Structure 1
Amino acid sequence: MDYTYFEFTLPKGFVDTNGGIHRYGIMRLVTGKDEIVVHKDSRVQQESYYRILVILSRVVTRLGNLSPVTPKLLEQIFLVDLIYLQNFFNHINQHQGGLARSGEY
């Protein structure tokens, strides 16, 4: 079993242009390279609040049948889902893989 990838379910889900709802996804643990790339990103340098969208776009490997997950896509998710992703990100990275794969925490 791979303990570096974790499944999650968004409370609301991303609604695509066709009305499809994408709630289930996969997030991986963050790496040092992710942090370096985020700090070098011009959007983050211009506006520090954009950091969370860039880091999440690097670690969310799939959302429904959408991949890659881009910062632009994450700009469009509901606030409750963004908060959920931030909390989930913090939880799995603080516990280094000690989370059940179901995404419940």
Structure 2
Amino acid sequence: MTLQTEYEFTLPKGYVDSEGNLHRSGIMRLANARDEILPLEDPRVRRNEAYLLVILLSRVITRLGDVRDMNPGVIERLFASDLAYLQEFYNRINGNGSSKHAIVCPRCDEKFEMELAPAGEF
């Protein structure tokens, strides 16, 4: 069995770059300990704890549309609904490493796994 370390996502609204291009699909990798520890030393996080999410996402998102240089400035310019979506997505993939959930059929009691899309993804 191979461990999946990268996950595709689609933003509900999308990131609009400085040229007016819309970027909705991207890839987020699993976070490591360093990703969660190093931002705590950042002065922006010390001044405002909410900024932790901005730095953390800029570290683990490896691609957003054609944007390859992910940095806090890109994350800062996301719509609030997209930021909330990415926070939920981050928590989901780093919680148990999968978006698959154990499901039991209410009619036959058969157990199976089903991949559930997060809110905003169709």
Tell whether the structures are fold-level matches, with TM greater than 0.5: yes
- Counterpart in 2 of 1:18? 19
Distance (Å, rounded) in 1 between the aligned partners of 2:37 and 2:12: 30
Q: Are the equivalent residues in 2 in contact too, given 1:7–1:103 (CA < 8 A)?
A: no
Q: Are the equivalent residues in 2 in contact too, given 1:22–1:65 (CA < 8 A)?
A: yes
Question: Is 1:104 the counterpart of 2:117 in the alignment?
Answer: yes
Distance (Å, rounded) in 2 between the aligned partners of 1:104 and 1:30: 20
What TM-score, normalized by structure 1, do the two folds share?
0.89
Q: Which amino acid aligns with 1:99?
A: S
Matched pairs, number: 103
For residues 30-89 of structure 1, give each alpha carbon's deviation from its aligned partner in whole angstroms, at most 9, with x where no partner exists: 100111211111111111110000000011111001122111111111111001000000
- Counterpart in 1 of 2:37? 36
RMSD of equivalent CA atoms: 1.8
What TM-score, normalized by structure 2, do the two folds share?
0.78
- Counterpart in 2 of 1:8? 9
Among all aligned residue pairs of Structure 1 and Structure 2, give the percentage whose two residues are the same amino acid.
44
Structure (1 or 2) with the greater helix fraction:
1
Structure (1 or 2) with the greater strand fraction:
2
Of structures 1 and 2, the one with the larger relative CO (CA 8 A, separation 6+) is: 1
Question: Is 1:75 the counterpart of 2:88 in the alignment?
Answer: no
SS at match of 1:91: helix
Q: How does 1:38-77 map to 2 (within 5 A)?
A: 38-77=39-78
Name stretches of at least 5 consecutive residues in structure 2 with no aligned partner.
Answer: 101-114
In our comparison, the structure showing a higher alpha carbon Rg is 2
In structure 2, relative to structure 1, the CA distance for the partners of 1:56 and 1:50 (3 Å cut) is same
